[in-house]
Amino acid sequence: MNTFVMEKEKSAYSPTAPAVEQAAQLLFCLQKNKGNDMGLTAICKEIGIHKSKGYSILNALAKYDLITKDTASKTYSLGPALMPLAQKAKQKFDITAIARDHLQQLAEATRTSVLLGIICNDQVFITGKYDGNDKVSVTVNLYQSLHITHGSHGKAVFGYLTQEEQERLLCSGQVFFHGDPEDFDPERLKRELNFCRDKGYAVDQGKMSPGINAISTPIFDHNNEVAACVIILGTFQEDQFEGLGKMIAETGRVISRQLGARI
């Protein structure tokens, strides 16, 4: 097959939406304002947009109660609809605070590295790392992201997603349960998901990182939805999987109950 490469012309296309960026800037502007509510002129000057553009954005945000307008003073402030959004985001990050002591104890008891991953938009973001072995530590950066189907945590999480979410991920062709997408084995995944539902944890035996084994368990929120996961990483042997698995599964259950899950 003959192939060729063409040098692409630079495109003027931008993957961002200017109006959305300006709306975000406007909200942050109101959030940072420590004085009285702000008028249209002050807002537009602060974020560098024309008054007609600012007026249109403010009206759109007001429609959804993301900002409010004082008709008497003609000033604007953040609106009540932001409160449930902030609460939803806060619940996600509260997991880190609730889990901290439990995961440090788990790391010390297992003499491994323990990670906390928060699920967001098909990614798992590492928001906590706890080392229980001062001689061996796995290098993982905080806030590093991994695909939601990656290795042991992928198996621990996937079985508790909705059927629609599962089908969407599988149809994407980009799943990393067993390493590269071309190594994906559907029948093997079924067995692993059944094992996780029965035992409360899933394993990866050096497939994702040669020489490093991993065990993961899901964490559920107050809606009984999977919201995070705990991951044990180390050079432990296969005959330790069951003992470590029971410990991480119990830790996951304790954290989930403190988040309001009914499990």
- pLDDT interval class at 200 (50, 70, 90): very high
Stated as kind and residue range, the H or E segment containing 23 is: helix 18-32
pLDDT of residue 85: 86
Sheet containing 67-70: which strands, arranged edge to edge?
38-39, 75-78, 67-70
Can you spell out the DSSP letters for 214-230?
EEEEEEE-TTS-EEEEE
CB atoms within 10 A of CB 65: 13
* Backbone φ and ψ of 8, nearest 5°: -75, 140
pLDDT of residue 11: 46
Q: Are 136 and 235 in contact (CB under 8 A)?
A: yes
Per-residue pLDDT at 111 exceeds 80: yes
Per-residue pLDDT at 88 exceeds 70: yes
Stated as kind and residue range, the H or E segment containing 241 is: helix 241-258
- pLDDT interval class at 245 (50, 70, 90): very high
Per-residue pLDDT at 92 exceeds 70: no
Q: Where are the beta strands (DSSP E) in 38-172?
A: 38-39, 67-70, 75-78, 113-120, 123-131, 145-147
Residue with tokens 């995070």, as numbered in its chain: 228
CB atoms within 10 A of CB 148: 23
pLDDT tens figures, 166-193: 999 999 999 999 999 999 999 999 999 9
Across the range 116-131, mean pLDDT stands at 93
- pLDDT interval class at 105 (50, 70, 90): very high
The rounded distance, in Å, linking the Cα atoms of 168 and 207 is 24
Q: Which of 85-99, 148-162, 209-223 has the lowest mean pLDDT?
A: 85-99
pLDDT of residue 91: 67
Per-residue pLDDT at 201 exceeds 80: yes
Q: Hey, do 18-80 and 88-258 end up sharing a CATH topology, with the first three levels equal?
A: no
Report whether CATH 3.30.450.40 matches the domain 88-258: yes
Q: Are 156 and 218 in contact (CB under 8 A)?
A: yes
* Sequence ranges of the domains in the chain: 18-80, 88-258
Across the range 58-82, mean pLDDT stands at 94
pLDDT of residue 5: 37
C-alpha dihedral (178, 180, 184, 189), degrees to nearest 10: 20
pLDDT tens figures, 142-161: 888 999 999 999 999 999 99
pLDDT of residue 231: 97
Report whether CATH 1.10.10.10 matches the domain 18-80: yes
The rounded distance, in Å, linking the Cα atoms of 182 and 180 is 5
